[in-house]
Amino acid sequence: MKITTIISDSNPLLKMVRGLQSRSQREKSGLFLIEGTKLVAEALSKSIRIKDVLVSQTFLQERLKELQAASITELSVVDDQRFSQLVTTEGPCGIVAIARIPRCNEGDLFACQAPLVVIAEAIQDPGNLGTMIRTALAANASGMILTKGTVDRFNPKVVRAAAGALFVMPIVAEIASAQALDLVNKHGLTVIACEPTAQTLYWETDMTGPTALVFGNEGQGFSQPILTQSAQTVAIPMNDCSESLNVAIAAGVILFGAAEQRFKAAFSTGRR
Amino acid sequence: MKITTIISDSNPLLKMVRGLQSRSQREKSGLFLIEGTKLVAEALSKSIRIKDVLVSQTFLQERLKELQAASITELSVVDDQRFSQLVTTEGPCGIVAIARIPRCNEGDLFACQAPLVVIAEAIQDPGNLGTMIRTALAANASGMILTKGTVDRFNPKVVRAAAGALFVMPIVAEIASAQALDLVNKHGLTVIACEPTAQTLYWETDMTGPTALVFGNEGQGFSQPILTQSAQTVAIPMNDCSESLNVAIAAGVILFGAAEQRFKAAFSTGRR
């Protein structure tokens, strides 16, 4: 393994890591950051192209064997203090990789018989978006559409909260809500907007066919195109003392509601 | 309204707010902090006893009418810069209240016909615990038990993530897992531990009777008492590419699974 020790603050790799905290730099370079051993290992196993790996001095000393086993052939090392200033993870981390942003074709979202696509409309909080991606993958969603105004999915906090799901989930981003609707309509999906005041409960609605579930901005809810063009709205029934649910929780509840319906339908018809 | 302007860093109220960031001070004083207009209003409407209210200069200028309407009769004001150093909320906030920690009797958790109690075992992340409390209330859980090792529920980050649910949810905290099991067993609850490797899926298990749902630590999972003494374990089926779900999401999925069963049972038997 080739190991380069970085001793200068103006080292180009350090500059690049610092730069990749910003969305504009990520978009310009087509690169993003992956922080932490577990996520870097996950990225390697999911064929994400890693360009550079940077570790802290302590991490190198304590975990060299793991790095060798992970088929990393080249890395850079920097002292612990400088390293901690480079990452957004609180607490010990010790490793950051620079990776190529994976490409996704629109068709990947609809590549199965009954697609289940999540439209995230202008979700602001990185933790919420990351958790939604992680949850959507777990619930067998086939893809996601992130409308304009949604936080960048390659923001390090989103990457962390997505816990590896970002490396495999087909995602189309940065399109207007009206375009997102056109796209799912073109593929024959029924659009269901999840909305606290809807009259129909989510378990009363059939989600076994080609379905797009829309979840809105944390504060503002849905845009006009979603409000007027969704085929249905569904609600999660809540205790009278509750004002609302966190949007990632709402997505989890309804996505697994869909997963349960699909599981049961597959068993009853022998489609599975 | 009586308004006191604070000009000294050594003012006792500022010292108290700073102190209440720490768990030991909260436990010693029986007080905790509530940050942000919405939460303070929520606390007032839920009969939480507010001892003091502190606002920033800008907040006072812009929102005096709201404060008067909220039946706050006395408050202190401090310059914006000092204020921002006192709170944990990122971004604008402008108001923090010092409130009495509400008391809860053990019996409050079991006060309905078929209690649904959440046992949170050593949950570490404040955002996760707060979201679990918010979600449990929404799903009509009757109470929660937080075992020793769980983050303090009056940590400002938990208070924020719980979005007001903390003010109404009956919670027993700081008891050992074995004691938590004794408590729910004494009240005749069936203990169901939620565990990714369980053979039974959550929707295959009847949760309409008196039920305790256990969710484990983010990294370590369950303690020995929970593993050996739970009546059942249930899993959420996941995509093969997924390693796990966030614990608050898992709680949301299973709690609303229980809510759905209970809703349907109530309708079919006319118990509602």
Tokens representing residue A99 in the block:
């990776």
- What's the alpha-carbon Rg for chain A, to the nearest Å? 21
Residues 27-56, chain B, touching A (beta carbon < 8 A): 42
Percent of chain B with pLDDT over 70: 99
- Tell me how far the alpha carbon of residue B98 is from its chain's centroid: 17
A163·B263 Cβ contact <8 A:
no
Give yes or no for residue B92 having a pLDDT over 80.
no
B135·A256 Cβ contact <8 A:
no
Q: State the average pLDDT over residues B50-69.
A: 90
pLDDT score for A65: 84
A165·B242 Cβ contact <8 A:
yes
Give yes or no for residue A247 having a pLDDT over 80.
yes
pTM of the model: 0.94
pLDDT score for B272: 42
Q: How far apart are CA B169 and CA B110, in angstroms?
A: 12
A2-100 has which CATH code?
3.30.1330.30
Give yes or no for residue A269 having a pLDDT over 80.
no
Give A246's contacts in chain B (Cβ within 8 Å).
131, 134-135, 161, 163, 248
Q: Which fold has domain A106-269?
A: Alpha/beta knot (3.40.1280)
CA A91 to chain B, closest CA, distance in angstroms equals 13
Q: Point out the least confidently predicted range of A91-100, A124-133, A197-206.
A: A91-100
pLDDT score for B64: 84
pLDDT score for B270: 55
Q: Would you call A249 an interface residue with chain B, using a CB distance cutoff of 8 Å?
A: yes
What is the residue-wise DSSP string for A62-108?
HHHHHHHHTT--EEEEE-HHHHHHH---SS---EEEEEEPPP--GGG
B106-269 has the same fold as B2-100: no
User: A247 near B249, Cβ under 8 Å?
Assistant: no
Q: Would you call A246 an interface residue with chain B, using a CB distance cutoff of 8 Å?
A: yes
Q: Which helix (H) or strand (E) holds B136?
A: helix B126-138
Question: pLDDT tens for residues A137-146?
Answer: 999 999 999 9
Domain segments of chain B as ranges: 2-100, 106-269
So what's the ipTM on this one?
0.93
pLDDT score for B126: 96
DSSP B262: H
CA A189 to chain B, closest CA, distance in angstroms equals 21
Test mutation, B112, B242, B244, chain A, max A CBs within 10 A: B242
Q: Chain A to chain B, count of Cβ pairs less than 8 Å apart?
A: 90
